[in-house]
């Protein structure tokens, strides 16, 4: 019974495919999966916008949306209708073709990553041999889309926003990839399915999630920080900082294209969060062995929602960074820490299994962290800030 429940979507797909001629079955199978993924995550996007506005409102001592539908639940629908019916304004000087392609490419690129994310047991679009590499390769397409949006608008604000966004994304891509390499080092595979399978085993009732190892914990934290920056979310949301450059690279967009940018950003965020889950939090694996009867996809989405809530929480809590602080964090803190974490993972690999490697690896991660944090703090000099380029 639990087996069937767990595999219900897979079985349904196979049942549906049975009606089709064998020649087009593989194509239709992929098409079905793609449609399902797009629908599910678009819905999740709608829910998340509601959740975010509601949650932020409560944190800021407001009510949040509460007019459309019960508890404002239909607010995303209303927003969607609004943006669809608005006039699509394109600046006269804009490069029309590129201006049009940018949001499309962004959304497409952000959806591409889901091809290798295992949403549940046996529920993955393709099990690529180099899955993690594929994910990051596709992620780099988003930078191009951002640039296209910023450049084609022919507006200073959007160009500045795009430059900021690209600089930030490139800078944080390095720690993002390096933080995930520890997992690859441990599993010896770039396949996401293999990575999740390695974590879906239990000692007693406890799972073998990588986040429960010293290097895994550090890797997870680093990955999440880098992911926050990668998806341009607060406190790293300089590219679209309202108080400085209004909305960054998509300032010149309106109506449905604007909504597409929003969608793309959120979908990208979900994808990175899902990658974090896959790499560190055991993917669809249940947190305790006695809970394995709960269908695997439910666990996946529970974890995803938890991470999204954490994102919202962080956004409501932390102030925005300055550009130089942002860059310094990436190159002076994140990069060395990821490298040290890599070292810790290597040591973990080569030490004999046992209790001894726990404190050793923990020390390898924790001691440099303390030293580095102290050093960076001490280096800070408080003085009149000079603006090198603007004067």
Instruction: List the one residue from 137, 201, 291, 363 that touches another protein (CB under 8 A).
Output: 137
Phi, psi (rounded to 5 degrees) for 120 = -155, 180
d(CA 229, CA 165): 9
Q: Which of 173, 230, 237, 252 binds another protein (CB under 8 A)?
A: 173
Closest approach, Cβ 284 to another protein, in A, equals 23
Distance CA 227, CA 240 (A): 16
Dihedral sign of CA atoms 342, 344, 347, 348 in order = negative
**Phi, psi of 203, rounded to the nearest 5 degrees:** -110, 115
Q: How many CA atoms lie within 13 A of 199 on its CB side?
A: 29
Give the nearest distance from C-beta 202 to another protein in angstroms.
Answer: 26
- Provide, rounded to whole angstroms, the least separation between the CB of residue 237 and another protein: 20
Q: Nearest distance from residue 110's CB to another protein, in Å?
A: 14
Among the listed residues 166, 222, 279, 312, the single contact to another protein using CB under 8 A: 166
Among 10, 34, 163, 221, binds another protein (CB under 8 A): 163
Q: Smallest gap, in angstroms, from Cβ of residue 111 to another protein? A: 16
Nearest to 308 by CA among 348, 271, 354: 271
Q: How far apart are the C-alpha atoms of 144 and 162, rounded to whole Å?
A: 10
Q: Which is nearer to another protein, 53 or 99 (CB)?
A: 99
Per rule CB under 8 A, is residue 133 in the interface with another protein? yes
Judged by CB under 8 A, the residue of 9, 114, 151, 300 near another protein is: 151
Pairing of strands 202-203, 206-207: antiparallel
Q: 135 is written with which tokens?
A: 């994910």
Residue of 138, 165, 200, 224 that binds another protein (CB under 8 A): 138
The only residue of 30, 89, 170, 310 in contact with another protein, by rule CB under 8 A: 170
Decide: 351 and 357 in contact? Cβ < 8 Å: yes
Contact between 366 and another protein per CB under 8 A: no
Output 136 or 256, the one with its CB closest to another protein.
136
Sole binder of another protein in the list 45, 50, 114, 147 (CB under 8 A): 147
**Whole-number Å distance between alpha carbons of 114 and 34:** 9
CB proximity list for 183: less than 8 A, separation 6 or greater: 195, 210, 216, 219, 279, 280
Residue number, 61 or 391, with CB nearest to another protein = 391
Q: Which is nearer to another protein, 90 or 128 (CB)?
A: 128
Return the number of the residue (67 or 385) whose C-beta is nearest another protein.
Answer: 385
Between CA 355 and CA 348 the distance in angstroms is 11
Q: Using CB under 8 A, which residues numbered 82 to 101 contact another protein?
A: 95, 98
Contact set with another protein (CB under 8 A)? 95, 98, 128-130, 133-134, 136-141, 143-144, 147-148, 151, 159, 163, 166, 170, 173, 188-190, 388-389
């Amino acid at each position: 019974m639990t087996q069937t429940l767990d595999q219900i979507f897979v079985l349904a797909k196979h049942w549906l495919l049975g009606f089709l001629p064998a020649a087009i079955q593989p194509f239709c199978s992929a098409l079905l999966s793609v449609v399902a993924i797009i629908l599910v995550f678009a819905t999740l996007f709608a829910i998340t916008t509601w959740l975010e506005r509601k949650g932020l409102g409560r944190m800021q001592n407001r009510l949040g949306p509460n007019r459309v539908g019960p508890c404002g639940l239909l607010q995303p629908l209303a927003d969607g209708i609004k943006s669809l019916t608005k006039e699509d304004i394109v600046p006269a000087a804009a490069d029309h073709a590129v201006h049009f392609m940018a949001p499309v490419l962004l959304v497409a690129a952000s959806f591409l990553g889901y091809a290798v994310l295992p949403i549940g047991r046996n529920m993955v679009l393709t099990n690529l041999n180099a899955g993690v590499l594929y994910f990051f390769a596709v992620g780099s397409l988003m930078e191009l889309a951002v640039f296209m949006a910023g450049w084609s608008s022919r507006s200073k604000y959007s160009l500045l926003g795009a430059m900021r966004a690209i600089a930030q994304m490139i800078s944080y891509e390095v720690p993002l990839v390096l933080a995930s390499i520890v997992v690859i080092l441990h599993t010896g595979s770039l396949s996401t399915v293999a990575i999740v399978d390695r974590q879906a085993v239990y000692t007693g009732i406890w799972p073998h999630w990588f986040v429960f190892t010293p290097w895994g914990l550090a890797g997870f934290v680093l990955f999440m920080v880098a992911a926050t920056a990668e998806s341009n979310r607060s406190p790293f949301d300089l590219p679209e900082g309202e108080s400085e450059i209004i909305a960054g690279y998509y300032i010149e967009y309106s109506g449905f294209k604007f909504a597409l940018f929003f969608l793309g950003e959120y979908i990208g965020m979900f994808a990175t969060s899902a990658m974090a889950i896959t790499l560190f939090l055991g993917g669809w694996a249940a947190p305790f062995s006695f809970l394995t009867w709960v269908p695997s996809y439910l666990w996946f989405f529970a974890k995803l929602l938890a991470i999204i809530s954490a994102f919202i929480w962080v956004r409501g809590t932390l102030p925005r960074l300055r550009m130089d602080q942002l860059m310094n964090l990436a190159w002076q803190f994140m990069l060395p820490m990821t490298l040290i974490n890599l070292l810790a993972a290597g040591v973990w690999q080569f030490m004999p299994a046992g209790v001894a490697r726990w404190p050793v690896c923990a020390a390898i991660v924790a001691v440099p962290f303390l030293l580095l944090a102290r050093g960076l703090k001490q280096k800070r000099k408080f003085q009149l800030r000079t603006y090198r380029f603007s004067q």
